[in-house]
Structure 1
């Protein structure tokens, strides 16, 4: 074939390429091959664009007018007709493996891909460790400093910032990896290896062990250095909220890639909502102070549920008093309820919603991988 995909010869090569040599040497003006010259190199030289210009010959048109072309055309027509008594090829399923088999193969592939991607996993683990140590040292033993409303807001801000930093980093670092894997997925799906849903489910599940590990040492470091109240229930809630916050941020990053043609666009798309998440998180502007026509977004903001859970589980049951500027001293649990609008009895709903956001973003990732195709060719 020459440039443009036009065929200039199709047929047997022959021993020592003598048939293709005879074909090109028969074209007027084409020089004979030298003795012991490489036939492949000679063929590329004689059929180049410069050779066509020099000979004023279009090799593609020459081939179409040759007897070789007519024989090939007749052979294609002959082979296109099935022999009498034969049946068309039939496969009972589109893929060679059932859905479960496809999922296991994809999960095995993704597991080794992640294991062999230290530039992704080690970076996010290192960032989480540094963030935990940094915030723990900045807010050293601040968990017990709750004598005033201002001190309490600083403590709450420390918890909020810790989860936010790691969550955004998870979202940003997962995007390039998912974009690369999606390119591989396009090729392997076209080859009929597996469908979209087993691939997407495997990509979602393979993240869980890494995020669990990340949340474990993050929670231990931050909880200990900030010196929150050491009870099993409070620590479990802190770990649970951190885990699913990291998960939904990770799946949010994956979802943005599935909605975008590349990870650069996905990064811009994801960053667009970071400031909105912050604004409606309930930390900077508590729910009672949000205008009624905007409070609907407060309830669908995932970061709000993280802040809700962190505040309520750590301070929603404390009976000690704090000083509130311009008001009489209040119990911490009453201040949390009045100022932030948080209720301790609402925690089961908070837990379900946090899990729901992770599931929702993962589901949207799978759906978009299945329905959207950003292949360029």
Structure 2
């Protein structure tokens, strides 16, 4: 085994190789309508060599066909005078934009054909919206006391954290599978890591936007927040970027870990910290000074900040604060008790966008840099 017994042209219907073997004395002729490949394997088997008392490999080496093939190889191995080495101006056949378009189209088809991912998260989002809407039914109309505001804050907090964590968890196996395909296609030179990562990042935007719109409409209406264009816009804006940074956070955890099981454990390790420093369980003014730095780098804290300020920064109605020695308005109580400044929506919006971009950047960088292939 492992020796060459024929190297040359096949010809039409393999007639060249058939003629070569039929010219050997003792080899039976091929039957009409017989498969040449099957016939060649039969007549060149070890049993046939024993019966004929010959070695097909040695026979080929002493044939004129071998000498002609050897001469042709030597001729083609020497480049002609004046020729230059084969050169490609770029590493990939497509430009970066072309690679990005191809990857984006591929991701679109993949997501469109993945109902087990998109329909499940949409159904979960709908269930969460209805659950939060019924649990906190029309609490937005009640703001007479600090208890009412705490209840409203809880509704806003729950409205984002449930869906956000679900987005983070459900995207991880999808990205892990896509990364395996990416390793193979990158090795084949189909595209660079950056266009792939950008396509993976951008394909989530329309799906998360649709998720945010119907979720916000349901929750906003059932909780009975004020129907004002500016306030509804800010609610959608904060919810959208919160859902998006949770999604990108899940993608990021996959990119820095070998598989989605480890990524899930890694991501879950921060859920509790996000909750603790969100400003809901422990208001910002009551967080110890040596831990306040984590409040400012906690993405959920900025989400809660944006949701509550966007809805109540202009409410000057008096509010009952149990145990307080001074009178408060809604706006004043929010600033005094939670540390939420009414005129801080601009920085809040910028930070939410920054967190989203940061998680997306880390995902793209790690996809480009890290390689968790086992072989």
Normalising by structure 1, report the TM-score: 0.82
The Cα shift of 1:102 comes to 1.0
The Cα shift of 1:146 comes to 2.1
* Correspondent of 2:363 among 356, 362, 365: 365
* Correspondent of 2:237 among 236, 240, 247: 240
Aligned 8 A contact 2:104 2:199 in 1? yes
Structure 2 distance, partners of 1:161, 1:331, is 25
Structure 2 distance, partners of 1:106, 1:183, is 15
Partner residue in 2 for 1:293: 290
Structure 2 matches for 1:1-377, cutoff 5 A? 12=7, 82-328=79-325, 329-377=327-375
Partner residue in 2 for 1:54: none
Deviations 1:214-254 (A, max 9, x none): 00000000000011112111111111100110111111111
Deviations 1:163-198 (A, max 9, x none): 000001111111111111111111111111111111
Deviations 1:260-317 (A, max 9, x none): 1111111111111111111111111111111111111111111110000011111222
The Cα shift of 1:356 comes to 1.0
Structure 1 distance, partners of 2:346, 2:159, is 23
CA change 1:150–1:11 in 2 (3 A) is farther
Normalising by structure 2, report the TM-score: 0.82
Partner residue in 1 for 2:53: none
Aligned 8 A contact 2:18 2:40 in 1? no
The Cα shift of 1:86 comes to 3.1
Structure 2 distance, partners of 1:123, 1:130, is 10
Runs of 5+ consecutive residues of structure 2 not aligned to the other structure: 23-30, 46-56
Runs of 5+ consecutive residues of structure 1 not aligned to the other structure: 23-34, 48-62
Aligned 8 A contact 2:334 2:340 in 1? yes
Structure 2 distance, partners of 1:81, 1:186, is 36
The two structures, once aligned, show a CA RMSD in angstroms of 3.3
Structure 1 distance, partners of 2:270, 2:40, is 60
Structure 2 distance, partners of 1:105, 1:76, is 39
SS of equivalent residue, structure 1 residue 244? helix
The Cα shift of 1:126 comes to 0.7
